[in-house]
Each structure stands twice: as C-alpha cells, then as structure tokens.
Structure 1
Amino acid sequence: MPSIPIVDFEPCGIHHSFVADVELKAVGDKTYEAFMDYGFVYLKNTGISSTSVDELNEVTEEFFSQPDDVKAKYFRKINNFGYDAIGKEKLVDGHPGDYKESFNMTCGATKNPDIVWPDDVVPEFSKTAKSFMKKCKALALRVLDALSFGLNLENPTLLSTLHSSMLETNNGSSLRCLRYPPILKPLEKDQIRLAEHTDYGSLTLLFQDMVGGLQIKMRDGTYIDAVPIKDAILLNVADLLQYWTNGRLRSTPHRILSPTEESQKLTIRRSVAFFVHPSEDLLVSRTLFNDNLSGNYTKLRGLTYDQLQQLTVGEYLQTQFHDTYA
C-alpha cells in the first residue's frame, strides 16, 4: 500500500538562521515531487519540537475541559477568532456538523483590541499560542522558499513575499487547535469526526497526536491512512496554491472517519493546524505562471474565473467561512 513520503527538512529547519539556495533547492525538489503524487508530505527535523506542540495541547485541553457555559463566552465572532462547539462546522451540505470542537486564532485578529483571549480561564493560553504562531510562520516561509525552487520560479522568494504578512492585520492565516471528544453514544446519521474536504488557502501545517484516523484521497479515488509519525509535521497543499500554480500542485481531499473499535471511540484525539494564507489585499486571480488555466483549474471552490477576477484573498476567505459555519 502506498504511503505519504517523508522529507528530512533539517537542512532548511527554522533552527538555522541562514539556509543556502542549494539546500532549499534540494529540499524543495523532494517536497514538490511528494506533492505531485500525494498533495501531502511529512516533514521531519523542522525545528518545531514535539514539546512545543504538547505545551499548546495542554493549555487548549484545559480550555476544552471547561463547562459549556464557560466556553460559550469565547464563541467565534470577530475575524474568525474563537471557540466552535461540536457540530458547528459543516463541511458537507445536508450532513450534520463534524463531531469535534475547536479554538481558532486568526493571526491578524490577535492584534485587534476587541479580541478576548480565554486567559482568565487558562492563564498561559495566549502566551503559548502566540509563541507557537511565530514558529509556524517561520516554518511556513521557509517551506514556501523551498517550494519556489521546486517549482522553478524565476523569483525564488516570490511565494514567501506574498505570504510575509502572516501575523499582521492584513492576513487570514490562522492557528487552529482541535479536540475530537470521546464518542459515548451513536452519532447522528452521516456524522463523522471530520468530513471530506480540501483546505482554503495555500498550505496547511498539521501537528497530529499519535491517535491517528486521518485519511487522504489518492488520485485513483482510494484512501490511505496518514499514520502519525512522532516529531514529524504533515504538510499539505490547499486550494489557493493549486489555483495559483495552474494545478502543478494539487489540493488533496482528506477526512477523519468515526472509529469502529470501542477503545478508539473512547479516546480523545487532538490536532493542531496552522493554515497558511497570503496577504488579504492580493487578487485571487493572480497566478505564478503565464500558461493558461485549463480544466478544473479555471475554478476555485466553485467560483468561476470571471467571479475571481476582482476578488481579493480576504474576500475569498470570507465567502468560505460563510459557507462552512452553521
């Protein structure tokens, strides 16, 4: 059975203050090759330790363990920032919402004085999350530079430049902490932990725990397990980068089914995702190559070429949030 490739990112890891072009090229070529076949790749030795992930999961678990009325004070309202309860996110029309809860932290919104962090409930929440965001930004920019070499872009810093506003007010990149609770009773008809979907933006950095359950859809329509690998990050292409590369990089559907074994049903699953987006004021209609779009790549999440011509990245993201959340 095929398995998602593993790329050693050590030569380009964020623990290095400087990385030579030759190293970026070598890693970028391997990453690009993995994306061509799978849309996903494992990166090991990135410079983000499992300790950092554990610290973030600990503070968010402390929040998720609070009574519902306490968590409700922090419902997602402003700029896609805040808590979502079980079933709130619906990825498939006509189906129940996913059996998970999450806390979403849009990077740009963190500078909004009206944003309320749950620090009165979990004192280290914002400090831990903001520190993790900075590491994710550094890694994302390093990955984008490597990918620029893998794509043979004339300007090898173009992708990172387009995304350099991460953690600023004009960028929708976000850190999302997810908790999949124990399944103590039968779920609603067609309800699962995470419905099949693709991601909105450019890239996603996913930090899984060791419980497992994530599956990705191969090009032939079959599914394979994205088996967790300790200290490795799962990286995937999202829809906007597929569009901007004219399908050279392809966004891959993925899902998490509800477990069938009783022990797995009773096990909490945690994951952390960092969704990488370019600056909000950029036009969606820009592409990285001059060749014509063709086939499925003339559309972006159902939006036609004509609809996309005057749409900014920020406006595009808002259309997706509107369609996704109940």
Structure 2
Amino acid sequence: MTFEVPIIDLTAFVTDGEPDARAATARAIDAAASTVGFMQIVGHGVPQPILDDFAAAQDGFFGLDLEVKKRYRVPPPINRGYSPPKSESLSLSLGVEQASRMNDFFEAFNIGVAASAHPRLELSIIDYAENVWPQEVPDFRPAVSAYFAEAGRVARTLATAFAQALELPAGYFDPFIDHSQDVLRMNNYALPPGTVDLDGELTGMGEHTDYGILTVLWADQVAGLQVLGADGGWHDVAPADGALLVNLGDLMARWTNERWLSTLHRVKPPVVNGTIARRRSAAYFCDGNADAVISTLPSCIGEGSKYEPVSVAEHLRVKLAGSRYLQPNTNAPREAARVLAAQRGERG
C-alpha cells in the first residue's frame, strides 16, 4: 500500500462555502484522519507576507549567539522561551520504556496564550504563562504574533470542519477551545560544526505523538520529517507548495475513541557532506482549554470507550514532564500500547 498524506483544500470552510463543498471537505478530512493522521492543508488563507516575515523572525533569533539565546530560558514547569540543543527528549512523553532516550538536538523557542489574554477568567499562570520576547530581534514579536494569530484561526477553522466530519453539531468544539492553552513552538535544526556527533542514528527530534487536539505545522520543504505508516515503515513527508501540514494529537485520538489517529512521527534531518542540512519548522499546538474534560465523543463511543475522561491540563502536564523535564510518562498505558502496536505495523 502506497503511503500518502492527502492534500485537502480548506477554502469551503475559510470562505463559508456551499454546503456540498463543505461536506466534501469534511469527508476528505475524515478519511485522512482515519487512515494517516496527517493531512496537507491548502486554501488556508494565511497571507504570504506574514509567512515571509515569520520565517525571517525565526532566522533572526536562531542566528544569535547561543549564550544570548540562553538568556531566554524559562525554568520548568513553564512551557515558554528557549530550549537549547540536547535539552529535551520527546520520546519520554510516550510512556514506552523501549523508546529512545537520546536527547534531541533541535533548539526551539515557545510562545503561547497568556492568562492576560483572558482577563475575565482565573487561569493558571503555569498553563497560561506570560511570554518572553528576545529584545535583540526587534521584528520578532510582531512577526511571530501575526503568524500566531493566523495559525490559531486555521486551527479553529479546522475544528469547525472536524465537527462536521465527526457528525457532531455545528460549533461542538467551540466550548473546548475558547481559551485554549495553545503553544507555538519554533524549531531549528542547523547547529554549529562540532556540536553533534554525525553518526547513522542521529535524531533531530525523537519519535513521538503530539499531545493535544491538533497541530498546524509550517515547515521548510527540506527532508527530515518522517511519519510512521500502517506498514510499520517510516515515510518522508514535506509540505506541498503553499501547504500547511496538519496532524492530530493524543487528545483527539482519545476524543474519537481512536477512530482518528494520533500518528507517531520524528525528525531525522539529512546529513550532507558531513553537516546537517538546515531545516526550520513551527508547530502550532491547539491543545484545548486547561479546564476542559475530554470524554469519548457521542458519535464515536460505539461499544464502549477505550479511555477514561481526562482534563486537558492533567494530560498535558504528564506529557510535558516527559519531553521537557526527562521524566518518563507512566500514566498512559493505552497510549503506550497504541504506540507499540504502531511500531509493529498493527492497528490497536
């Protein structure tokens, strides 16, 4: 069976298109979510100048000296600011002891929704921490903020389409994401010579599933991202021209009782002439309201739920404890079983 990440045109939902067009898009989303867990989204409406300025802002920050970037580290458990190379291990979020524990060599910078964005709500300053902004790159904050707003719009448009795809009432997901603790993680895989041992098992970002509801990924058209297929093999995936990659997270797999897939993926950047080819990406994680409780959807419960209800905050904290604070996740037995089955080329 050929592995393919389908290209889906979101125009009908971005522009409030005709019912037949929206229904066709919803069917395409359901097919992709049920078989691959990834999709390529075109017709998303993000203006090219915003994308160009966003890319330049990342270049400006990641081009700074390492000691300057380290000034923007934020201590745990706050999920903001700079993460230096080899300071995280995504595989430890899986709850799978066999997963590689090699520290991932990417560097990253996180921003997210802050409590101050919802002054009428009493939100946790841990889950909704204020952002730190690098002063050395004046254009960084406006450019990144502009893209953050656009990615959030795309995520919420997708949530509308998802409700239709899952035979749910219009706006079903709105109460779960109206103060979603969304995070934008900008990743850079170009490191100075001598910082990494270029061996055959080099891992830019270890195998993992995303934690939340859905992820909107902007990325260079450079090889590196690999997705685990139903055949048990790893397949290279790069965005098509003008496309944003979208994949589903563990909360959506729980919500849909595994009708939709949270697919294992990793990053293994190519090594060219003894150096790592540069690759940039930025993942917008739509993770849901911290106080929302995720229970199996009524259209997916079937003969019974595979998961107990869980709050978004509880779920994310144990996941982040694995990736950022190197504590193996021991609270996800069903997810661990699903990951191991996928590694064997099975459907759990």
Task: Identify the TM-score tier after normalising by the shorter chain.
Answer: 0.7 to 0.9
Instruction: Specify which of 28, 31, 35 is matched with residue 33 of structure 2.
Output: 35
Q: 1:196 Cα deviation (Å)? A: 0.9
Residue 210 in 1 paired to residue 216 in 2?
A: no
* Mapped partners of 1:128, 1:223: distance in 2: 34
Residue aligning to 2:291: 281
Change (3 A) 1:261 1:193: same
Residue aligning to 2:182: 173
Residue 104 in 1 paired to residue 110 in 2?
A: yes
Change (3 A) 1:100 1:284: same
TM-score (norm 1): 0.85
Residue aligning to 1:156: 170
Change (3 A) 1:226 1:60: same
Residue aligning to 1:51: 49
* Mapped partners of 1:136, 1:105: distance in 2: 13
Residue aligning to 2:5: 4
Q: 1:54 Cα deviation (Å)? A: 2.5
Instruction: Specify which of 42, 57, 60 is matched with residue 58 of structure 2.
Output: 60
The 5 Å alignment of 1:100-249 reads 100-108=106-114, 111=117, 115=130, 117-153=132-168, 155-165=169-179, 171-182=180-191, 184-185=193-194, 186-187=197-198, 190-249=201-260
What letter matches 1:57 in structure 2? A
Residue aligning to 1:82: 81
* Mapped partners of 1:105, 1:83: distance in 2: 9
Residue 324 in 1 paired to residue 317 in 2?
A: no
Give the stretch that moved more between structures: 224-233 or 39-48: 224-233
Change (3 A) 1:254 1:62: same
The 5 Å alignment of 1:278-317 reads 278-285=288-295, 287-289=297-299, 290-293=301-304, 297-298=306-307, 305=308, 309=309, 311-317=310-316
* Mapped partners of 1:123, 1:227: distance in 2: 30
Task: State whether residues 5 and 42 of structure 1, in contact with CA within 8 Å, keep that contact through their aligned partners in structure 2.
Answer: yes
Task: State whether residues 80 and 132 of structure 2, in contact with CA within 8 Å, keep that contact through their aligned partners in structure 1.
Answer: no
TM-score (norm 2): 0.80
Change (3 A) 1:104 1:285: same
Aligned positions, number: 304
* Mapped partners of 1:59, 1:50: distance in 2: 14
Task: State whether residues 108 and 173 of structure 1, in contact with CA within 8 Å, keep that contact through their aligned partners in structure 2.
Answer: no
Task: State whether residues 49 and 231 of structure 1, in contact with CA within 8 Å, keep that contact through their aligned partners in structure 2.
Answer: no
What letter matches 2:225 in structure 1? L
Q: 1:284 Cα deviation (Å)? A: 3.2
- SS of structure 2 residue aligned to 1:229: coil
Q: 1:19 Cα deviation (Å)? A: 4.2
* Mapped partners of 2:42, 2:131: distance in 1: 34
Question: For 1:120-162, what per-residue CA distance to the aligned partner results, in whole angstroms no more than 9, with x for missing partners?
Answer: 2111222112211111111111111111111111x12102332
Change (3 A) 1:202 1:99: same
Task: State whether residues 103 and 176 of structure 1, in contact with CA within 8 Å, keep that contact through their aligned partners in structure 2.
Answer: yes
Q: 1:267 Cα deviation (Å)? A: 2.3
Q: 1:222 Cα deviation (Å)? A: 1.3
Q: Which runs of 5+ in 1 are unaligned?
A: 166-170, 299-304
Question: For 1:241-265, what per-residue CA distance to the aligned partner results, in whole angstroms no more than 9, with x for missing partners?
Answer: 01001111111111112424327x3
Q: Which runs of 5+ in 2 are unaligned?
A: 93-99, 118-124, 326-348
Taking only aligned residues, the RMSD between alpha carbons, in angstroms, comes to 2.4
- SS of structure 2 residue aligned to 1:33: helix
* Mapped partners of 1:183, 1:66: distance in 2: 12
- SS of structure 2 residue aligned to 1:118: coil
- SS of structure 1 residue aligned to 2:294: coil
Identity in percent: 26
Question: For 1:54-80, what per-residue CA distance to the aligned partner results, in whole angstroms no more than 9, with x for missing partners?
Answer: 211211221111112211111133731
* Mapped partners of 1:115, 1:276: distance in 2: 17
What letter matches 2:265 in structure 1? H
